[in-house]
Amino acid sequence: MSQGGRPKGYEDTEIYQLAKQLAVEIHRMTLEELPKFEMYEEDSQIRRSSKSIVANFVEAYGMKRYPGDAIRYLTYSLASCDETKSHLEMLHETGALALERFEYFYNQYRKLGAMLYNYREAAIQGRV
């Protein structure tokens, strides 16, 4: 049980907490730091992919009793993480995202991707 006596859920996982934190940071960054002309281009795409990581992880967590479905949603989450890294690269290489911000986000998404990969591998082996 977690705090307050409620059963542990997806909210208590390190993966969910990091993915959600990063999705919020990406959302704010796109609105506050990127050029306005990106609003409907990379801005929109990276917001969706970063939020998709969270949503698909939550779906996977809820499907733990159905391993095939859970693994599929974990794969979607991992793919969205890779997509987010790709958008970060594009934003940086086009000069819209400063090197320091790119490195911060890219490294965080590499960490998150490794966590998702390991969780998916554990699910495949029936350890989740």
pLDDT of residue 73: 98
CATH number, domain 46-128: 1.20.1440.60
The pLDDT of 82-103, averaged and rounded, is 96
What is the per-residue pLDDT across 39-68, written as a single tens digit (0 to 9) for each? 778 899 999 999 999 999 999 999 999 999
Residue 99 has pLDDT above 90, yes or no: yes
- Neighbour tally for 10: CB within 10 Å: 18
Tokens 């790119």 correspond to 102
- The model's pTM is 0.92
Q: How far apart are CA 120 and CA 61, in angstroms?
A: 11
Residue 37 has pLDDT above 90, yes or no: no
pLDDT of residue 7: 64
Q: What are the structural domain ranges in the chain? A: 46-128
Residue type present at position 88: L
- What is the radius of gyration, based on Cα positions, of the chain? 16
Residue 1 has pLDDT above 80, yes or no: no
Concatenate the DSSP letters of all residues of 1-46 into one string: --GGGPPP-GGGSHHHHHHHHHHHHHHHHHHHTS-GGGTTTHHHHH
Q: How far apart are CA 69 and CA 26, in angstroms?
A: 28
End-to-end Cα separation, the chain, in angstroms? 16
